[in-house]
Structures are given as C-alpha cells and as structure tokens.
Amino acid sequence: MKHNSKSNESIWFLEVDTQFVRDQKKKLEKEVVCWSKGVIGNADRPLVISGPSGVGKGTLINMLMKEFPSMFGFSVSHTTRAPREKEQNGVHYHFSERNVMEEDIRSGKFLEYAAVHGNLYGTSIEAVDVVADAGKRCILDIDVQGARSVRASSLEATFIFVCPPSFEELEKRLRARGTETEEQIQKRLRNAKAELEQGSSPGLFDHILVNNDLEACYEQLKNILGISKSMNTVPITPNKVFDLPVDFSLSKINEKILINHGVAEQKVLDLSSMKGGAPGRTRGLDMYVL
C-alpha cells in the first residue's frame, strides 16, 4: 500500500508479509505490521561496498558522492578506533567509547557490527535512516563480515566487492596513504588475505571490481549502478507498490489505517506519532484492535 504525503514528498509503504515482518512476528510472538519510508525498486537499493583496507573504497565513494551529491548519502558508521588526522567526528565516523558502543549494540541500535583490525565497527539503524530520510541512496563502506550480516538482514542492498590488482599494489597503497603505523599496516595486510578469499564466496557479492586504474574502475562502478552525469538532476520515481495478500483489506481515516483481516478482525494502525524508520523498521506506531 502506498500513501503519498505532499508536504515532504515522501512515500510510505505498509509492509504486510515481508521477511522482516515474518521474523518479527516469530520473535515477538504477536501480530506485527511495519510501515517503511522510501521508494521500492533496484535504483534505490542501498549500496554495500567492501574490500580490503587500502584498496580504494573510500576514494571511489568520495568520487561518487562528489559527482552525484543529490543522489548518494554516506552511512556514517560508529567505530572504537581513534580518529585519523583529517577525520571529523560525525562525518567520517562517529568515534565512540567501546563500553558505550557495546551498550548501544545490546540495546538494538545497530543494523550490523563487527570487530575489524582489533576495533569495533557498526552501522546504526539511525545512520541508514538519516540518508533515507534525505531521499538519497545510502552507501555503506563495511567489511565482509558486515556485508554478510546485511545480506542476512531485511535491508535489500546491492553488494560490491573491490579487489586490488595485486597484493603488492595493495601494500604500496596502504603505505603511501600514510595513516597507519607499521604494526597497523601489518595487521591490515594479514586481514586482507582473508578478506580477499571471503570476497569471492559465492552468493555474497553481486559485483566484483578490480581497482587497477582508478578512473576505469570508477566508470565500471557507475556502469554497475546504471548512472550517468545527467541523472543527478532526475529524481527517481517509484514504479512498484506492494500487493496485499488477498485476505487483507485496508481503509484510511485521517492518521488511522483500518486493517481488516478475514471477517471477524479489525485493527487500527495509528500513525499520528509515526517517525521515519530505516528500511524495514518503524518508530512511533501504535496498533490496537477495534
């Protein structure tokens, strides 16, 4: 079901029988209805970019965001690692204390998290939310473990793995970047071997890019995403809405949606205090039986 709100041009979808709804029903052992903000269709899927440290993920992402500022937004992760010289809190990462981040993980604020190179990294639901609320396509720069978690989650994304042309070139780039100590470089290189192996695991990544020549790799990335310069000014329009199962029907009165299931049951979904949620997640809904 689709509801078009004129005030902020946002489109809301009612999830009735999606994987997320089924998972939550099982977990909570009660009826669950989810209200998702966003546009459905491949063009708007979040983009998960993984690859070993120093391969050029950040460089490619920056190029994309610079050329298409209104189309893409970066998911700002949380990490317990120390900031690098030019990194800004809230822009490159949310730099966090380990105990605070662990508590936030326990309380369910993260879509995924992983221990990488001895530190914790994670994507908060809020980080994806902020980008989706701005009407942009979200880019996640996360490691292979994180990509696996997102694959298993309700977030439908496009997964891209970036490889170096050779291990020697990867080492050269890491050293030339000059942001890590020798010990940290060694740790990243050790982990790169495992990541390169996992990157080729069947079914995890949709596309593999070799970042040899930067410009050529960037062109390939844009080809995968099906974008060209002129597209930045063209808003993406939704082309598909959910079909309701046959035994459900809906009607709407002001901020309340009436859900009829079968003959006997009628529920009210109260949207008056609803706030935007990450795809597959909703805040501020109230539901009761009429």
Residues in the site for ligand GDP, rule: CB under 6 A?
53-54, 58, 77, 81, 112, 114, 116-117, 121-123, 141-143, 145-146, 188
The number of beta carbons lying within 10 Å of the beta carbon of residue 29 is 8
Sheet holding 11-15, edge to edge: 2-4, 11-15, 34-37
CB-hemisphere CA count at 13 Å for 241?
12
All residues at 6 or more sequence positions from 83 whose CB lies less than 8 Å from its CB, including other chains: 89, 92, 93, 95
Binding segment toward ligand ADP, per CB under 6 A, in 8-16, 107-115, 171-179, 271-279? 171-179
Residues 212-251 touching ligand ADP, rule: CB under 6 A, are 214, 217
Alpha-helix runs per DSSP H in the chain: 19-28, 57-67, 98-106, 125-133, 144-152, 167-177, 182-199, 214-225
CA angle 192, 197, 202 (to 5 degrees): 140
Minimal distance in Å, beta carbon 268 to ligand GDP? Answer: 37
Among 34, 40, 48, 55, binds ligand ADP (CB under 6 A): 55
CA angle 5, 38, 225 (to 5 degrees): 135
Secondary structure of residue 262 in the 3-state scheme: coil
Report the C-alpha gap between 204 and 136 in whole angstroms: 24
Q: Which two tokens stand for residue 54?
A: 């120093």
Binder of residue 56, out of ligand ADP, ligand GDP, none (CB less than 5 to 8 A by kind): ligand ADP
Minimal distance in Å, beta carbon 170 to ligand ADP? Answer: 9
Binder of residue 122, out of ligand ADP, ligand GDP, none (CB less than 5 to 8 A by kind): ligand GDP
Please identify, using beta-carbon distances, which residue of 208 and 241 lies nearer to ligand ADP: 208
**Does 109 help bind ligand ADP (rule: CB under 6 A)?**
no
Binder of residue 55, out of ligand ADP, ligand GDP, none (CB less than 5 to 8 A by kind): ligand ADP
Among 50, 77, 154, 211, binds ligand ADP (CB under 6 A): 211
Contact (CB, 8 A) for 128 and 138? yes
Binder of residue 142, out of ligand GDP, ligand ADP, none (CB less than 5 to 8 A by kind): ligand GDP
- The H-or-E segment that residue 73 falls in is strand 72-74
Q: β-pairing, 158-163 with 207-210? A: parallel
Please identify, using beta-carbon distances, which residue of 12 and 72 lies nearer to ligand ADP: 72
Q: Which residues are catalytic?
A: 84, 177, 188
Binding segment toward ligand ADP, per CB under 6 A, in 31-39, 57-65, 127-135, 280-288? 57-65
Among 92, 151, 177, 267, binds ligand ADP (CB under 6 A): 177
Binder of residue 143, out of ligand ADP, ligand GDP, none (CB less than 5 to 8 A by kind): ligand GDP
Contact residues toward ligand ADP (CB under 6 A) are: 51, 53-59, 173, 176-177, 211, 214, 217
